[in-house]
């Protein structure tokens, strides 16, 4: 399949996800309106929808349709968005811009941004629970709730943010940087793929392979993010390039240089491909999606 | 049964809940330690454990043992605690003391308090999912996840906090005050009773009755909280009496006076008793627990 096909695939899946998000989020005039406006402001700000697309691609790789996993796909985007809203707060990374527009708290105030984040995290688990209507065995949903909670909590994303904050302005060893990246970013990307395969009816072998592949891909994603922050085009990034260095954030290019970072990302990608091959999951879109994670320009 | 018996019941159930929370929360030395210390600091600060006890009492009322609902009982306490941590933040109510000790952000900083709250909310849903191992039908767990998410999100607790913040320092009509109380506090109390009955195997009639009773009891609880804030003993409240008036928080005594507020609370209690009677659920502890909500001194 050509790169053109992948673009079309991404555009199509993104449109499905955007439509589902618009439907599943409470409307802006649902009382109390302020918090619903704040939630929609950040969720509907665009973005690659990479996590929902990984959920869908995971399901498709084992023969299930996107509709079967759509509530959970949206849930992963809500969790990603809540983490961005809270990370941007003055008490955390203190960012004014995100995806080319003012951050949530700059528009709605700190209190509303905290509450909008809390509400998105809460709604995410409701959507996963509602996915029960689309699968035969409700135990799968319980497993998915637990798996997502692990990846989003202090075994995953929150742990990464904690260590990231505690490392700011300090010289940290490569192991700590890898800990931050695998927890803060990779955990949620890994679980997106994994719950897609699980909800799609994948067997234990597929689940094990996809977990390993997701872990490697997630790390590759964040290394590439770090590189793009050094080299990227600010217009397509939607934030200022060089921001990480300015804020003394630990990054792969800062520790290893750009060239070595690129090699590390490629090695992660190769590991992911081997995992997917072993499980016979490369034939569909997953293999191309994996390449996209490393070759993307924004 | 005498009031002495109820005290013994509450003490016993509280000990069960405390032990389960201590077991289910990650230990303080689990990496990254800071966030786990922050989580335990607030959860293990004591408190009445009213929400978990309502879950247990709901289950017992339909013949189930406390152990069957313990993970979900703890989940409700984690959600309650996360909401207190976030509410106390400088960006929200800006409180320095809670339950007689420094608030979470005064000890761990704003960033860690936000993350500890996020992590507790996330862990809560994991505990509910793990409750699946203790029930026959996993669909019940999916219903419980959705019900709790409704009560904790912008259909319940978060909605109440949003309107509370937006009402501060303003003259508001009684309907708005009732909206704040039924959403900010009553929703989580109602759902505690309700999921206890659901997990305990209660039928549709029991669920309907308990929902109505929980709603009335939850409102009564918050009216009594408002009264105690005016009249209460600061030592046993663990916060300064009169704080609500000082911060221009809308309260029942401020709008109706103490006597009329007491009457309103008693009316709520009577409604709750009628609901419980209708469903044949008053014989056990529930009836006494309902009385306790209104007669408690702190």
What would the pLDDT profile of A211-242 be if each residue is shown by its tens digit?
999 999 999 999 999 999 888 655 555 555 45
Instruction: Report ipTM (2 d.p.).
Output: 0.95
pLDDT at A3: 54
Gap between the Cα atoms of B223 and B231, Å rounded: 12
CA nearest to A151 within chain B:
B122
CB contact under 8 A, A126 and B26: no
Q: In the predicted model, is pLDDT for residue B51 greater than 70?
A: yes
pLDDT at A4: 59
Q: Which CATH architecture has domain A3-295?
A: Orthogonal Bundle (1.10)
pLDDT at B201: 95
What is the arithmetic mean of pLDDT over B260-288? 90
Q: In the predicted model, is pLDDT for residue B241 greater than 70?
A: no
pLDDT at B169: 87
Helices H, strands E: what count in chain B?
Answer: 16, 2
Give DSSP secondary structure letters for A160-183.
HHHHHHHHTTS---HHHHHHHHII
Minimal C-alpha gap between A110 and chain B (Å): 6
Minimal C-alpha gap between B166 and chain A (Å): 9
Nearest CB neighbour to A153, from listed B119, B130, B141: B119
Confidence of residue B45 (pLDDT cuts 50, 70, 90): very high
pLDDT at B235: 54
Asked if residue B244 lies in contact with residue B226, where contact means CB atoms within 8 angstroms, the answer is yes
pLDDT at B1: 46
Minimal C-alpha gap between A288 and chain B (Å): 32
CB contact under 8 A, B122 and A149: yes
pLDDT at A1: 46
What would the pLDDT profile of B131-157 be if each residue is shown by its tens digit?
999 999 999 999 999 999 999 999 999
Gap between the Cα atoms of B110 and B108, Å rounded: 7
Any idea what the Cα angle at residue A257 is, between residues A251 and A262, rounded to 5°? 85
pLDDT at B2: 52
CB contact under 8 A, B162 and A126: no
Which run of H or of E encompasses A101? strand A101-102
pLDDT at A197: 96
Residues of chain A with pLDDT under 70: 1-4, 232-248
CA nearest to A180 within chain B:
B32
What would the pLDDT profile of B85-127 be if each residue is shown by its tens digit?
999 999 999 999 998 899 999 999 999 999 999 999 999 999 9
Average pLDDT, chain B: 92
CB contact under 8 A, B132 and A122: no
pLDDT at A53: 97
Nearest CB neighbour to B153, from listed A111, A126, A152: A126
SS3 of A35-84: the string is HHHHHHHHHCCCCCCHHHHHHHHHHHHCCCCHHHHHHHHHHHHHHHHHHH
Gap between the Cα atoms of B8 and A291, Å rounded: 63
CB contact under 8 A, B149 and A126: yes
Nearest CB neighbour to B132, from listed A35, A142, A166: A142
pLDDT at B244: 54
pLDDT at B285: 85
CB contact under 8 A, A149 and B31: no
């Amino acid at each position: 399949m050509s790169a053109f096909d992948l673009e079309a695939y991404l555009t199509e899946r993104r449109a499905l996800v955007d439509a589902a998000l618009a439907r599943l989020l409470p409307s802006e005039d649902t009382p109390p309106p302020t918090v619903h406006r704040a939630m929609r402001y950040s969720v509907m700000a665009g973005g690659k929808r990479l996590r929902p697309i990984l959920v869908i691609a995971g399901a498709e790789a084992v023969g299930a349709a996107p509709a079967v996993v759509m509530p959970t796909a949206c849930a992963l985007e809500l969790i990603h968005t809540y983490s961005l809203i809270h990370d941007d707060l003055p008490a955390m990374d203190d960012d004014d811009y995100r995806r080319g527009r003012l951050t949530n708290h700059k528009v709605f105030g700190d209190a509303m941004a905290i509450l909008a984040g809390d509400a998105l995290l809460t709604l995410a688990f409701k959507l996963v629970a509602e996915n029960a209507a689309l699968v035969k065995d409700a135990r799968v949903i319980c497993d998915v709730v637990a798996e997502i909670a692990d990846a989003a909590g202090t075994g995953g994303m929150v742990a990464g943010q904690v260590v990231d904050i505690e490392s700011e302005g300090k010289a940290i060893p490569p192991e700590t940087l890898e800990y931050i990246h695998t927890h803060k970013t990779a955990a949620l990307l890994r679980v997106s793929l994994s719950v897609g395969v699980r909800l799609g009816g994948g067997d234990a072998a597929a689940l094990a392979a996809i977990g390993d592949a997701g872990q490697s891909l997630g790390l590759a994603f964040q290394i590439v993010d770090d590189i793009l922050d050094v080299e990227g085009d600010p217009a397509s990034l939607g934030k200022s390039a060089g921001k990480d260095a300015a804020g003394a954030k630990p990054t792969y290019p800062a520790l290893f240089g750009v060239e070595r970072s690129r090699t590390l990302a490629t090695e992660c990608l190769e590991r992911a491909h081997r995992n997917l091959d072993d499980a016979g999951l490369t034939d569909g879109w997953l293999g191309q999606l994996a390449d996209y994670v490393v070759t993307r320009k924004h």
